Homo-oligomer: A and B are copies of this chain.
Amino acid sequence: MRNDQRQVNHIRPVKITPDYISHPEGSVLIEVGDTKVICNASIEDKVPPFMRGKGKGWITAEYAMLPRATEQRNIRESSKGKVSGRTMEIQRLIGRALRSVVDLDKIGERTVWVDCDVIQADGGTRTASITGAFVAVVLAFGKLLTKGTISKMPVIDYLSAISVGVLSDGKEILDLNYQEDSQADVDMNIVMTGAGEFVEIQGTGEEATFSQSQLLTMLQLANEGIEKVTEYQKETIGALSDRIGETVT
């Protein structure tokens, strides 16, 4: 039994509130246990310089935490005047992951800006961000479909993420909360598609290592978690669900 009474293969309760903020084309509040992230997707009618003239779009992501999303207050990155290495890693990950399931050729020279702002953190903020951002992006494209700006949903498949890890007693667990995360020997974030393909695997053993057998157990747990998370995404997306994948069939 874990510190919050979960089984090793249980994820925390997930709640995704659509249309959370009024201005963005797509917006959700995703709650995974006590982790809460506002994910906004904005459509801009141009692409960054390196993409111009190719007739295709781009997706980029930014990630931040409110200073007091955490137990100890963090210095605001705008005050420090620079973005930390951790933030950069996470926002590069979110953008890369989303691009793997969006048909950028079908959205014209547009940029989707995804903003993931963690307002409360209890572990798994980057995986919650990816899961929530996916829904925000689908909602944003839904708005473009309604307006007739695009004619097909350019999203190829579902995308979500979950963490797995190995506790110091060697036990593999799914969806670590902050307390577990800070005690784990191994921390791994897995991003997968609805079809069960891998998009990203990032496994790290700081001051520890892990075996191939532990890796396989973690991948199996991740697979179970991703399936459940995908269900929550489907519910939130509703009718738009039927249109996912329509550009590839």
Contact = CB atoms under 8 A, between A and B. Distances in A.
A48 interface: no
Contacts of A205: 100, 197-200
Q: How many copies does the complex hold?
A: 6
Interface stretch (A6-14, A63-71, A145-153, A225-233): A63-71
Contact of A119 (B38, B199, B219): B38
Contact of A88 (B44, B85, B117): B85
Interface in A172-210: 188, 193, 195, 197-210
A24 interface: yes
Given A23-B120, A34-B22, A82-B78, A96 B206 contact: yes
A15 interface: no
A209 B198 contact: yes
A40 interface: yes
